[in-house]
């Protein structure tokens, strides 16, 4: 059920394969809030650190890297009442869900994986996704590996198994191989 190491290795190799050169000619990835996205974070929650840009859940961020132009959105975060297959998660654990979307704005296919996403907590810990399939999971699930052709989008839920007594995550992070810093969406206090 947890082929995390194998899947993470495959995801890393897939993302590394597309991490060659930047599309802006500087050799550096380009990250910017999409013009059609909702307004900024404001006082929705804690700020990660001065100088680092954060976005509100629902904001769309444009990224140009490795010869690809795409946008990503952390749409929602849910840490209560997430449906689950029978017997899961393990005792003392709970499911946390992030609903995300990626749109390929370029002309060539882009490989994606849920392992580029994580949750950041106030104590400095980060949680990686757990991939579960079958009846009882909150659909649509973000695929373990997928190729997104130019002009197409992919939206789905990513599950995280976290200790039951953990507080609410502070941020949803997107950090594919090739970005210097993760893109961060602030999770409102709930």
**Burial class, 2, CB count within 10 angstroms (exposed 0-12 / middle 13-18 / buried 19+):** exposed
The predicted structure's pLDDT at residue 42 = 39
Q: State how far the Cα of 160 lies from the Cα of 29, in Å rounded to an integer.
A: 27
Separation between Cα atoms, residue 171 and residue 77, nearest integer Å: 9
| Count of domains forming the chain | 1
The model's pLDDT over 58-81, given as tens digits with 9 standing for 90+, comes to 999 999 998 999 999 999 999 999
Residue 166's CB is within 10 A of a number of other CB atoms, namely 18
Examine residue 89 and say whether the peptide bond preceding it is cis (omega within 30 degrees of 0): yes
At a CB cut-off of 8 Å and minimum separation 6, what does 91 contact?
A: none
Tell the burial category of 177 from Cβ atoms under 10 Å away from its Cβ (0-12, 13-18, 19+): middle
User: What pLDDT does 82 receive?
Assistant: 92
Counting as low any pLDDT under 50, the low residues of the chain are 1-24, 37-50
Residue 136's pLDDT is what?
A: 84
Rounded-to-10 torsion of CA 41, 44, 50, 54:
-40
Which residue range forms the structural domain that includes residue 70? 4-186
Rounded Cα–Cα distance for residues 22 and 1 (Å): 36
Looking at residue 8, what is its pLDDT? 39
- Its pTM stands at 0.78
- Per-residue model confidence (pLDDT) at position 28: 73
CATH code at position 13: 2.60.40.1240
CA distance 169 to 96: 9
| Res 25: pLDDT | 56
């Amino acid at each position: 059920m947890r082929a995390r190491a194998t899947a993470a290795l495959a995801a890393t190799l897939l993302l590394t394969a597309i991490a060659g050169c930047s599309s802006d000619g500087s050799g550096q990835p380009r990250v910017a809030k999409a013009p059609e996205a909702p307004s900024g974070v404001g006082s929705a929650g804690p700020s990660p650190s001065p100088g680092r840009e954060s976005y509100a859940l629902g904001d769309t961020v444009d990224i140009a890297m490795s010869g690809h132009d795409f946008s990503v959105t952390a749409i929602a975060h849910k840490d209560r009442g997430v449906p689950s297959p029978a017997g899961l998660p393990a005792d003392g654990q709970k499911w946390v869900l992030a609903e995300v979307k990626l749109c390929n704005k370029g002309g060539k296919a882009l490989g994606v994986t849920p392992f580029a996403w994580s949750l950041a907590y106030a104590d400095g810990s980060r949680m990686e996704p757990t991939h579960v399939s079958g009846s009882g999971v909150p659909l649509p699930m973000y695929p373990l590996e997928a190729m997104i052709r130019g002009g197409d989008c992919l939206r789905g839920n990513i599950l995280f198994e976290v200790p039951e007594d953990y507080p609410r995550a502070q941020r949803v992070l997107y950090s594919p191989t090739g970005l210097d810093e993760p893109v961060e969406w602030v999770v409102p206090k709930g």
